[in-house]
């Protein structure tokens, strides 16, 4: 496992001046982009720090690039590995991740352990996605809430984490355990968990499995997913299970991304979804070569198939109907959801709201208008407004000011 992970670059600390922000939909599957949806510019320029990398096992020694505790992390030199102290064997590969930090965050996981970590939110993608789905949205949150940091991960079998071999079973529970292990090794205590679709069930499973390292209170957002049965949409809609099976019939290497798009469209999948799936292709070329006539998939499709089956079968109503004290679970239903929200699901959530209030927890239901299943692409501004309430509440509770 460590050998596979060692091929990727170690965690780096990057600092970048904010540029004119692109629509938040960048990096997510464009099922239905709202015409003219753009992110408004911030009222004053801010910076955000971005750490990208992978927890890896390495014997390479290098001088620390950490800044003094009184300042933010400085920019790491390109291709420089940061040594893990004191025992690198504790940091074998877990998941590929990216840490987007607001401009007022003065912390990183290599500082003195006496330095408390800032308020942290974990953002989880869905099946066939990657951490890049949340990239633009996380930067927008970091600019609006500069004291926060946002952990984006590639779940097992997805993105850069696909190169880290994981033992089965590939389930919602094992995926949640991966994320819990990652936040332990990064010494984080997340205050907010946000999961889209499959990632929503992963967030619920994290709460179910562990009291620590999850903080109390912790706020969970489950975006367009129910705790139990997954009900696919009607005819003419893109069904994930069928999409996975179509991809499994494709060769491991193809001559072009357009070849994949054409093949999927021929099988009645939408052009937008076909193009999004093609973003999981990476050019196959020898080291140092600038051109190649073939592309290969970056995900582990067999593992993803198992994960989706687990998503369909996993029942987490128990954690919703018996919410632990200090946990607040928010469900967000897309107005034009790809999945069918049964009346029974909505009634159970509303009943859970009343029960949770009596037990010191919380359950709440939200509806995002003018959005399909891909909420962060269809209505990013609406989603931002709804999620922002969580960070403002947390800031008020802890006496933080932006």
Beta bridge partners of 49: 15, 101
More confident residue, 301 or 43: 301
Domains: count for the chain: 2
pLDDT at 237: 60
Give a yes or no: residue 319 inside a domain.
yes
For the stretch 92-105, pLDDT in tens is 379 999 999 999 99
351 in the same domain as 278:
no
Any domain includes 383: yes
- Is 234 within the bounds of a domain? no
235 occurs within a structural domain: no
Same domain, 266 and 363: no
Q: Are 392 and 320 contained in the same domain?
A: yes
pLDDT digits (tens, 9 = 90+) for 353-362: 988 876 667 9
Are 117 and 135 found together in one domain?
yes
Query: Higher-confidence residue: 97 or 402?
Result: 97
How far is Cα 7 from Cα 5, in angstroms, rounded to an integer?
5
> Which of the listed residues 310, 343, 358 is the one where a domain comes to its end?
310
Does residue 131 contact residue 381 with C-beta atoms inside 8 Å?
no
- Distance (Å, whole) CA 195 – CA 151: 12
Residues with Cβ within 8 Å of residue 75, at least 6 apart in sequence: 13, 14, 15
* Pair (91, 169) in one structural domain: yes
Token readout for 212 is: 């620590």
Q: What torsion, rounded to 10 degrees, do the Cα atoms 372, 309, 319, 348 define?
A: 50
pLDDT in tens, 39-73: 333 333 444 555 555 443 222 222 222 333 332 22
Own/partner pairs, 204-207, CB within 8 angstroms, 24+ separation:
204/316, 204/319, 204/320, 204/329, 205/172, 205/173, 205/175, 205/176, 205/314, 205/316, 206/176, 206/179, 206/180, 207/319, 207/324, 207/327, 207/329
Residue whose entry in the numeric block shows the structure tokens 């979804």: 273
| Residues 374, 351 share a domain | yes
Check whether residue 137 and residue 282 sit in a common domain: no
Write the pLDDT tens digit of every residue in 244-282.
999 989 988 898 999 999 999 999 888 888 888 888 888
Expressed as residue numbers, the domain containing 130 is 2-24+40-228+314-397
Q: Note whether 188 and 327 are same-domain residues.
A: yes
3-state SS of the chain: helix, strand, coil percent to 5?
35, 20, 50
d(CA 25, CA 16): 20
Q: Is residue 219 pLDDT above 90, yes or no?
A: yes
CA torsion angle 124 55 248 199 (round to 10): -10
């Amino acid at each position: 496992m460590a050998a596979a992970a060692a091929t990727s670059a170690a965690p780096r600390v990057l600092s970048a001046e904010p540029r004119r922000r692109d629509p938040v939909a960048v990096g997510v599957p464009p099922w239905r982009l709202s015409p003219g949806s753009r992110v408004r510019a911030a009222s004053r320029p801010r910076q955000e720090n971005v750490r990208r990398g992978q927890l890896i096992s390495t014997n390479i020694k290098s001088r620390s690039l950490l800044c003094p505790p009184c300042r933010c992390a400085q920019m790491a030199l390109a291709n420089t590995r940061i040594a893990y102290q004191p025992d690198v064997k504790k940091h074998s590969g877990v998941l590929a991740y990216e840490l987007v930090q607001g401009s007022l965050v003065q912390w990183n996981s290599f500082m003195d352990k006496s330095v408390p970590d800032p308020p942290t939110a974990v953002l989880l993608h869905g099946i066939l996605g990657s951490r890049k789905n949340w990239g633009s949205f996380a930067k927008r949150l970091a600019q609006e809430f500069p004291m926060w940091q946002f952990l984006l991960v590639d779940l097992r079998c997805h993105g850069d984490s696909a190169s880290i071999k994981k033992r089965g079973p590939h389930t919602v529970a094992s995926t949640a355990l991966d994320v819990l292990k990652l936040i332990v090794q990064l010494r984080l205590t997340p205050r907010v968990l946000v999961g889209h679709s499959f990632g929503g069930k992963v967030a619920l499973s994290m709460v179910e499995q562990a009291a620590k390292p999850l903080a109390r209170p912790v706020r969970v957002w489950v975006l367009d997913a129910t705790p139990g049965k997954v009900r696919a949409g009607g005819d003419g809609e893109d069904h994930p299970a069928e999409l996975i099976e179509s991809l499994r019939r494709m060769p491991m290497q193809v001559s072009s991304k357009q070849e994949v798009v054409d093949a999927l469209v021929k099988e009645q999948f939408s052009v937008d979804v076909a193009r999004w799936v093609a973003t999981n292709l990476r050019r196959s070329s020898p080291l140092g070569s600038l051109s190649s006539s073939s592309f290969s998939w970056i995900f582990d499709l067999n593992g993803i198939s198992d994960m989706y089956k687990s998503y369909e079968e996993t029942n987490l109503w128990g954690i919703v109907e018996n919410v632990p004290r200090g946990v607040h679970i928010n469900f967000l239903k897309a107005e034009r959801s790809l999945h069918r929200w049964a009346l029974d699901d909505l009634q159970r959530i509303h009943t859970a709201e009343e029960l949770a209030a009596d037990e010191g927890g919380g359950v709440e239901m939200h509806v995002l208008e003018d959005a399909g299943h891909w909420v962060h692409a269809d209505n990013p501004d609406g989603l931002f407004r709804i999620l922002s309430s969580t960070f403002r509440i947390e800031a008020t509770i802890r006496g933080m000011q932006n």
